[in-house]
Amino acid sequence: MTSPGIPASPDPGVAASSDARDAVARAKAANLDLVRFLYADHGGVIRGKAVATRFLPERIASGIGHTVAMMAMTMLDTLEPVEGMGPVGEVRIKPDPATFVELPYAPGAGAMLADLVRPDGEPWQACARTFLKHAIAELAADGYAMSAAFEPEFTLGRREADPAGGPDRLVPSDDSLCYSATGFHQNHDYVMEAVRALNAQGLQVEHYYPELGQGQQEIPIRYAGALRAADNHVLYRETVRGVAIRRGQWASLAPKPIPGQAGNGSHLHASLSSLADGTPVFADAADQYGLSPAGYRFIGGLLAHLPALLALTCGSVNSYRRLQPQFWSSAYTVYGMDNREAAVRICSPLRGDATSSVNLEFKPSDSSANPYLALGGFIYAGLDGIRRGLSPGEAVNVDPATMTQPQRDAAGARRLPLTLTEALDALAADSLLMDALGPLRSAAYLAVKRAEAAAFAEHDAGWECFQHFLRF
């Protein structure tokens, strides 16, 4: 979509891509005043800066200047000492114009997802979106492309001050039963606004249902290519919160915003296809679960790297309050056929679409993670399984919490890390993921996350849940 007469760039020397020209034309046609350039940091927080529309062409070309230190910032806005991320040094928040959207919940504003690049325009070694691009390139080198979807749950409610002066509470929007029709009634106006806002940004809403926890909602989005899936998840997080805040409500995707209530997962669904001819790589009609050898090996890689991978997919202190046995969030290193207590679930194919609908669901994943690091780490782990031919062992088709310890030992069912610190220790010891992250990104990530673990260790569950429902 281009509008004639709108200059693509004020500088004729800067050749704008057609995506850039389209983004500028759409921003002007919609009379936007500001366009947000958004990225996700090591604390999992979405941050950014906005540009006035009249300067959009040049800022698409150059990015907006930003301090390197922001990738050393925790979710509590404390700056951690990381070599190369101090007060000296500059990166640019450089938007990807192909991701331009108008923001239905923020009249007058649009947004784009951004990379963090060096002033010379080269990728910065701590950019999370670049990490996912590298992971996708590794897949492509072996002839694969990934389709993926984050499947986020969130809690809708309102913030209420504590009369005793403690942290605010999140009061849920419904007290309905799981999937109950009453839950549809109690949340209808909010949900309709959120669904329309998601669809208007090109995220394809597939379903809606009120889930188990009080106020818990699930609005799953159609799968997309891996980079788009992570971009979509950022837009999704922004939308469910933005719509709520404008309505005087509060929506939280935190893993456990309310102690004692069901947790909010963001299960990762993924499948591979052949780059050569588009055929599904995970499907094999002859197998008892419909899964191909490459599919089993991908699971083998996920299970082998699971404790370390968790540091990326379950990235907050609050994540580990969710990962409990018998909460359908997964708590053991097992996989199974349609087993919702397994870390990896082989999803039964849809009737009429038996091959292309085969996909894996990775349960220990939530929306406090940086989605680019989470999906990138997931790809590196699974691909390692394919490359090294790792066997995942036998499928476990019972709830592992109901097995005896000797049965779990025989099945290789280990308990997932109980704390963020345990997962970080596993990450630091995982050479594949540490090499993939690279020295600057891994040092900053570990420093940020270890600082968060130390900070929350000084406080009780109420403060932890409050801080997480504020940020996520």
Does residue 340 bind ligand GLU (CB under 6 A)?
A: yes
Q: Does 209 bind ligand GLU (CB under 6 A)?
A: no
Tokens 């101090």 correspond to 86
The minimum distance between CB 153 and ligand GLU, in angstroms, equals 5
C-alpha 43/C-alpha 70 separation (Å) is 10
Please state the closest distance from residue 364 (CB atom) to ligand GLU, in A: 8
Q: From the list ligand GLU, Mg ion, none, which binds 97 (C-beta under 5 to 8 Å, kind-based)?
A: none
Nearer to ligand GLU, 38 or 369 (CB): 369
Which 171-230 residues touch Mg ion, going by CB under 5 A?
218
Find the shortest distance in angstroms from Cβ 243 to ligand GLU. Answer: 21
Where residue 154 falls (left for φ over 0; alpha for ψ -120 to 50; beta otherwise) is beta
Interacting positions 124-183 with ligand GLU (CB under 6 A): 153
Contact of residue 263 among Mg ion, ligand GLU, none (CB under 5-8 Å per partner type): ligand GLU
Is the Cβ–Cβ distance between 345 and 339 less than 8 Å? yes
Asked if 124 contacts 118 with a C-beta cutoff of 8 angstroms, the reply is: yes
Pick 328 or 463: Cβ nearer ligand GLU: 328
Of 317, 344, 337, the closest CA to residue 417 belongs to 317
Within 317-336, which residues bind ligand GLU (CB under 6 A)? Answer: 322, 327-329
Interface pick for ligand GLU out of 262, 283, 302, 423 (rule CB under 6 A)? 262
Give whichever of 201 and 329 is closer to ligand GLU, judged by the CB atom: 329
Q: Could you tell me the smallest distance in angstroms from the CB atom of residue 89 to ligand GLU?
A: 39
Chain positions 49 to 88 lying near ligand GLU, rule: CB under 6 A, are none
Q: Which is nearer to Mg ion, 55 or 179 (CB)?
A: 179
How far apart CA 197 and CA 206 sit, in angstroms, is 14
Contact 43, 73 (CB under 8 A): yes
Euclidean distance between CA atoms 231 and 350, whole angstroms: 26
CA of residue 211 relative to chain centroid, distance: 20
Cα distances from 218 to residues 79, 206, 322, in angstroms, run 34, 10, 16
Tokens representing 53 are: 């529309």
Within 10 angstroms of residue 200's Cβ, the number of other Cβ atoms is 14
Binding region for Mg ion (CB under 5 A): 218
Binding region for ligand GLU (CB under 6 A): 153, 262-263, 265, 322, 327-329, 340, 363
